[in-house]
Structure 1
Amino acid sequence: MTIDRPEVMNAISPAVSHEMSQALDVFEADEQLWVAIITGAGSDAFSAGGDISVMSKAEVADDYQMPATGYAGITARKSCNKPIIAAVNGVCFGGGFEVALACDLIVASENARFALPEPRIGSAAVAGGIHRLVREVGLKSAMALMLTGDSIDAAKAKEMGLVMETVAEGQALEAAIRVAERLLRCAPLALRATKECAVNGSAYPSVFDALDAQDRGVFSSLQTMLLSQDIREGLDAFVSKRRPTWRGV
């Protein structure tokens, strides 16, 4: 999925958010689609965030209404257990960074820069960016970015654990595709079970509470995986010393 507004640094307006939500609805519902990649058109920006030209004209919050699945159709999307990769090229600021944080993996070009500069224009990263960044890098590191509005480069983002891989400028999408190909070597139902357990399990106060929820069948993707044909295929392929053929059932 490409945010294709390079003339405005791929800024995300409400209309773009609704389009992205519809596309992600299709991805989530189609059992033949196993991995998604989100990127921005051109090499200058993944997304500079919200479309300020639209926001500045909004009289009330309802005039900048987002879909139920959140900003860009992803920041409040709770039901998608399929992996989503952000291929970040260039500027990844504000809402753009919030979109990347809502993805499961981030691959970034060397010219990528990340920031939540909303306080500099009197706002805050209320589409999940504050909460996700704190959880991913810790309170003090997150506060250093959020309270200053400062940006970090791809190397620093990787050092902080936000970015999986950095590549040469213009190569983020190609690198993300290679990562997706690695994911496709794994059983799709196993990936969904892993994502659900990791994301939803982190809401429990302790590992033991999460394990208890797991044992009670709270994580539905895990139950689906355990009853799947693919789990048998994986075991048979291992014993037979052949590559498994996943069907997603």
Structure 2
Amino acid sequence: MSYAFCSTEITGRVLTVTINRPESMNALHPPANAELAEVFDAFAANPDLWVAIITGAGDRAFSAGNDLKYQASGGKMYVPESGFAGLTSRFDLTKPVIAAVNGIAMGGGFEIALACDLIIASDNAVFALPEPKVGLAALAGGLHRLPRQIGQKQAMGMILTGRHVGAEEGKALGFVNEVTPQADLLTRAHAWADMIVACSPTSIRASKEAVYRGLDEPTLEAAYRGQSKYGEINAMFKSPNLIEGPMAFAQKRKPQWTG
């Protein structure tokens, strides 16, 4: 399927989604958001795809966030139910998503990355939530995800100033998993995806669901006792992978996972 504002590529079990508006620093307007929502709807529904990577076209920006020029021109503003880029309000996706951040990730661009499970950043990546500087606020999840991921004081230091944070500082703060030369960015993102694909997909989805739902529980004990009720946990115990994994280990071969 062809798209106007993004491109997709499938490599084995991995879907790579590239935001394709380099002339606008990959900023997103409503038609682009709607398109990306369709892409991630299809990813969620496809049993043959286990991991997604999202990145931006060109070497200047992952995404500069909301397309302010489109907004200023009077373009009708709306966001799909699944949120900015079809990701920031998608709370039921148990398949992993990796952000491969090349260059600028500002505002909604940073919020897209924060909505992903891993962030692999090029060494020229820059992150910020600068919305207060233009009379807005980071309401696509940034105000909630960033404190949960790096702690309240560090997050408030970014949120209340809109300051720019480079890739290495992002790694030190804890929201970046790896910093790599820009030329190697997608190679490294695919290396992480391949490590995930080597694991049982049912175990990966169960783990992701348990982590995120557990973080919303009031106590560690509540999270521990509640996980037995999670859908992906129950699916893992019913999956053929539960037998295949130990059998492959005993037979000293690679497991043949099913999705």
What is the aligned-residue identity percentage? Answer: 46
Determine if the alignment matches structure 1 residue 223 to structure 2 residue 234: yes
| 1:242 corresponds to | 253
Instruction: Please list, as runs of the form range in 1=range in 2, the aligned pairs for 1:41-52 lying within 5 A after superposition.
Output: 41-52=57-68
Q: Is the 8 A contact 1:89 1:170 kept in 2?
A: no
1:241 aligned partner, one-letter code: K
Looking at structure 1, the residues matched to 96 and 74 of structure 2 have their Cα atoms a distance apart, in angstroms, of: 34
3-state DSSP of counterpart to 2:179 = strand
3-state DSSP of counterpart to 2:38 = helix
Looking at structure 2, the residues matched to 58 and 204 of structure 1 have their Cα atoms a distance apart, in angstroms, of: 42
1:245 positional shift: 1.0
Looking at structure 1, the residues matched to 95 and 74 of structure 2 have their Cα atoms a distance apart, in angstroms, of: 34
| 2:27 corresponds to | 11
3-state DSSP of counterpart to 2:175 = coil
2:227 aligned partner, one-letter code: Q
| 1:116 corresponds to | 129
Instruction: Please list, as runs of the form range in 1=range in 2, the aligned pairs for 1:8-87 lying within 5 A after superposition.
Output: 8-58=24-74, 63-87=76-100
238-247 or 222-231: bigger deviation: 238-247
Q: Is the 8 A contact 1:43 1:170 kept in 2?
A: no
2:153 to 140, 163, 169: 140
Aligned length: 243
3-state DSSP of counterpart to 1:243 = coil
3-state DSSP of counterpart to 1:170 = helix
TM-score (norm 1): 0.96
1:234 aligned partner, one-letter code: G
Looking at structure 1, the residues matched to 85 and 148 of structure 2 have their Cα atoms a distance apart, in angstroms, of: 21
| 2:107 corresponds to | 94
2:185 aligned partner, one-letter code: A
TM-score (norm 2): 0.92
Deviations 1:195-228 (A, max 9, x none): 000011110011110112113x1x1011000110
3-state DSSP of counterpart to 1:100 = helix
Looking at structure 2, the residues matched to 235 and 81 of structure 1 have their Cα atoms a distance apart, in angstroms, of: 23
1:192 to 171, 194, 205: 205
Q: Which runs of 5+ in 1 are unaligned?
A: none
1:161 positional shift: 1.1
| 1:176 corresponds to | 189
3-state DSSP of counterpart to 2:70 = helix
Looking at structure 1, the residues matched to 74 and 136 of structure 2 have their Cα atoms a distance apart, in angstroms, of: 14
CA RMSD of aligned residues (A): 1.0
Q: Which runs of 5+ in 2 are unaligned?
A: 1-16
Deviations 1:132-156 (A, max 9, x none): 0010011110010011110110000
